[in-house]
Structure 1
């Protein structure tokens, strides 16, 4: 593997931004992770306001950045996506605490997480829809997508391997919302649950069941009694199709 470079705002021959970025091409879900041409270890997050195409470069935050399940903030992320931003064709390496934070509705296209630390993608929008299409994640001991804000998250054509939850609606955030998630075209293996939602806040998870290819995944959808006190949420149902978990 090439020696990593350390930089704050990364620009090189692989990266394309905004009008120079190639158009996103949706492909069928695949678990073939890209081979990065190089590694870029960042001293601070990259903030994206338009489109950032990483050319499948591996980005991380340097050796020792992952503190396992220690909760991090925006400053610990690899990428910060502003409202309307698109991140595409990027590999997130193991040396990071928080992968991608979406501060508003965002698009995450063909982004690959080689080893999830705390969370891969955190959604903070208060409303609107974020789209996670293509790409995949490995070794998420807890969550891949953490939905702390409101609105809708769409996850499509995605690979997830050895994971706790593909998606979790925040169970104990101080500010709670009714959240929606749309899940389709998933290849999943060795996981606990695709989606965990809070039925008491009216969350709804909708699945295109015929497009799910699952191996050793215990549950498609679990419901919880969420709260805003910081307490551990109570699980109510597991792998039951109902008005909240639609599969």
Structure 2
């Protein structure tokens, strides 16, 4: 029986040689049986036959449909209401008006009334290892870990919750540059069967993405992300994805730091 399993899920498209390099770095750092997976947000089942750029765009576009807890409605709104206190809720014809008070996660005064359109689109809640492209069986001994980067952090969080809800212990969930909503962040942090959640935001490198952000912030960050991606220099959100010597060094240091934080 395999001794432990650590699953790495990369950024939108889940392609690029940096994924294999990340696995090598994890193994060299002393973390057992690392493997990288693949989950396509919009093109599931056919993504391997598409140009990588289209697959990447599909995953990036799908973030808003997966980045909240499965019990939280998919809602389209352009107002940051994270940490606002809900004073009332009124709904009709699929439109929902929330009444808020207090201040949001940016310290701004909450909008009094916010109109949301809550989607009823069903979401795939089966995030088994096989569904995310991992052929390994769930370990019966050793650690069971998930490391997600960008889009992969969304799927890592949902996968960890999938197993935690089945009463399976997840030892470590690592979220790097995670564009997840506050509801999903709270869900993984408070679940009794997810022992340790490690959040690594990349703000110090110029990344506008952070765990617990609102969809409003996610949408307004798109021009910055597009500019950072076009530069190809590994700045900002793409700090760990650049495929050069600097990227290899960064991934090696990341793996070593995760080992020091307890991943085995």
TM-score for the superposition, normalised by structure 1: 0.28
Greater share of residues in strand: 1
Greater length-normalized contact order (CA 8 Å, ≥ 6 residues apart): 2
Which protein shows a greater Rg? 2
TM-score for the superposition, normalised by structure 2: 0.27
